[in-house]
Structure 1
Amino acid sequence: MGISLTQTLQSKLPELRLAVPGFLICLVVAATAQFLSDHYGAPAMLMALLLGIALNFLGEEGRAVKGIALTAKTVLRIGVALLGARISVDLLMDLGPQLISLVVGGVILTILFALTVGKLFGFDSKFSFLTGGSVAICGASAAMAIGAILPKNNNDSEGEDFSERNLIFTVLGVTVLSTIAMVLYPILSSLFEFDTRQSGVFLGGTIHDVAQVVGAGFSISNETGEVATLVKLIRVTMLAPVVLVATLVIRARYNGASQTGASKPPLLPMFVIMFLILAGLNSAHLIPQILVDWAGVVSRWALLTSIAAVGMKTSLGKVLEVGGPAIGLIVLETIFIAGVIIAGLQLLT
């Protein structure tokens, strides 16, 4: 077995060497995006995406192509898997059953809303699920995780480009809306006269990306920031079961893969399995806190680097071709989840 593993690694080395230039470029773009975020307050994910799009020519031809493709796929999955190390059962217990039910219900209802309204807008279920899951769960991270399991029709020469265009649009949309919400939602919390805990639930239950949740929560108070972050992590926990259910549905729908040309996905992608394993180990307090902290740092950088790579693989012109109805759909989904959480908080108080 050792020889077999060695031979496998040796066979992969030439391919990995070819991927190094592209990966390093993506890493430099991610570092630049983080610098802009630290010094000018711009969302790091948004900066990485826009810088990546500006360097789109690198993803089309040249020595960087293989590394950019590998980063957009493999590094992305590593980043999502490591998110599991931040999840534990203790987080859930701290919030209480009623508020947990409200947060989980908001995720489920938003995805169902997206699938229903998406049909009215003329979109297929894949695009509706991509946008709805991203809004409902954890923004750009969820978009990339869901995009990784959605099937592509191999008979369609534009299938890959179409999927990447939709992914880029979704990441861009949820990141921009998260930034707007980071400024607007604390004001709404004040207008609705939410107390510290309610404000945390509202912000954590509605804003798409983790960084913007933290920014909005701690702009009100430390306690609000802590509650908002906790609620957001509960939404992140929903990523694994949502991906599992989606994979089962996709497998059933594309059971006749040979006829449709679509590849049949595995029952549960490996990166989701690792997410669940790390969440279980952390719940059992088997992962030292220093490793949990490091996993969070590596996860963030992996996601930042991979979103830069995704940006390099898609031109802005193609993203804009998605059109006004897609923008309307993702805005409606954002308004819907905010309405669900606000209504739930009003009923529970």
Structure 2
Amino acid sequence: MAFSPEKRKGTISGIIFVALVAASATYIAGLAPVQKLGISPLVVGIVIGIFYANTLHNHFPAAWETGIVFSAKKILRFAIVFYGFRITFQQIAEVGVEGFMVSLIMLSTTFLLGTWLGYRIFGLDRDTAMLTASGASVCGAAAVLATEPVLKAEEHKAAIAVSMVVLFGTIAMFLYPALLKAGVFDMTPQEFGIYVGGTIHEVAQVVAVGSIDGPDTEMAKAAVIVKMTRVIMIAPMLILLGIYLSYAAKKSGGEAGGVKLVIPWFAVYFIGMAGVNSLIQGYVESG
């Protein structure tokens, strides 16, 4: 147990260490040069974690490991639940049926095709292929970390997936505006915003690209709303993935009574938080 008497001190120290890393990542992401690149605190934190794991890991007390693992397995899930407070159902309604369908089609086809290509064509193992596809189809690094506990994947596989979605999301962040200015994208501002929100991975990157003509433009609003629609779809996606994994385990030889249905409850709570936020926003706007 992480908080047993003999481990409590090390666990608390590990949690404090993770909190300091998170605070440092937030500070770095707030610096002007980093903001211009559209890099979120989450991505900065992952880079710091990679540096720590490959350099300083063996120089810190081993007792801190329980706190670091507790943060990665437990606190991270609570953070994903509270991420629901960034979304309202009113935002989804604003973008209309077209924006919703773009998000739904993009997410489902990217996840299924990405998983198949990664596993069958590029020779990735199943977990890495699914983690990469989830990051590309939903919301980048956050989706990878949310999918990891559902798959019960190894940490290094999540790191590989995060690296890939961050790399290609960053490329798209610089490429899209250039193609728009060159006239390659023959779209209205709203159409381009929907395209950006439906294809770029990180929320921060979508905000950066969608706001090239200003933060309050039709393009920016469409991009952010479509993106947040994709984000909220992570919950039903993870639930369906859990059901599929249980079915696959049963089909591969598991006993009917011995195959446990994998339901990521934090994804269900995520929808609940979005619902609460929607009610609060509706109350504020009406009164």
For residue 303 of structure 1, what is the aligned residue in structure 2? none
User: Residue type matched to 1:29 in 2?
Assistant: V
Closer, same or farther: CA 46–282 of 1 in aligned 2, 3 Å: closer
Alignment of 1:133-144 (within 5 A): 133-144=134-145
User: Residue type matched to 2:167 in 1?
Assistant: V
For residue 43 of structure 2, what is the aligned residue in structure 1? 46
For residue 169 of structure 2, what is the aligned residue in structure 1? 178
Q: Distance in 2 between matches of 1:134 and 1:122?
A: 18
Structure 1 gaps, min length 5: 1-7, 153-162, 290-349
For residue 16 of structure 2, what is the aligned residue in structure 1? 24
Q: What displacement does 1:249 show?
A: 0.7
**What is the SS of the residue equivalent to 1:194?**
coil
Q: What displacement does 1:78 show?
A: 1.0
- Asked if the contact 1:87–1:237 (Cα under 8 Å) also holds between the matched residues in 2, the reply is yes
Between 1 and 2, higher relative CO (CA 8 Å, sep ≥ 6) is seen in 1
- Asked if the contact 1:46–1:176 (Cα under 8 Å) also holds between the matched residues in 2, the reply is no
Given candidates 25, 30, 51, the residue that maps to 1:33 is 25
For residue 58 of structure 1, what is the aligned residue in structure 2? 57
Given candidates 266, 275, 279, the residue that maps to 1:271 is 266
Q: Distance in 2 between matches of 1:278 and 1:17?
A: 32
For residue 190 of structure 2, what is the aligned residue in structure 1? 197
Q: TM-score, normalised by structure 2?
A: 0.83
For residue 129 of structure 1, what is the aligned residue in structure 2? 130
**What is the SS of the residue equivalent to 2:204?**
helix
User: Residue type matched to 1:226 in 2?
Assistant: K
For residue 84 of structure 2, what is the aligned residue in structure 1? 84
Q: Distance in 1 between matches of 2:265 and 2:142?
A: 16
Given candidates 169, 172, 185, the residue that maps to 2:160 is 169
Q: Distance in 2 between matches of 1:199 and 1:16?
A: 52
For residue 109 of structure 1, what is the aligned residue in structure 2? 109
- Asked if the contact 1:58–1:65 (Cα under 8 Å) also holds between the matched residues in 2, the reply is no
Closer, same or farther: CA 186–174 of 1 in aligned 2, 3 Å: same
- Asked if the contact 1:58–1:64 (Cα under 8 Å) also holds between the matched residues in 2, the reply is no
- Asked if the contact 2:42–2:142 (Cα under 8 Å) also holds between the matched residues in 1, the reply is no
Q: What displacement does 1:231 show?
A: 0.9
The reply to whether residue 243 of structure 1 matches residue 238 of structure 2 is yes
For residue 221 of structure 2, what is the aligned residue in structure 1? 226
User: Residue type matched to 2:169 in 1?
Assistant: S
Q: Distance in 2 between matches of 1:91 and 1:12?
A: 44
Q: Distance in 2 between matches of 1:81 and 1:226?
A: 24
**What is the SS of the residue equivalent to 1:220?**
coil
- Asked if the contact 2:7–2:63 (Cα under 8 Å) also holds between the matched residues in 1, the reply is no
- Asked if the contact 2:190–2:222 (Cα under 8 Å) also holds between the matched residues in 1, the reply is yes
Q: Distance in 1 between matches of 2:76 and 2:5?
A: 20
Structure 2 gaps, min length 5: none
For residue 211 of structure 1, what is the aligned residue in structure 2? 204
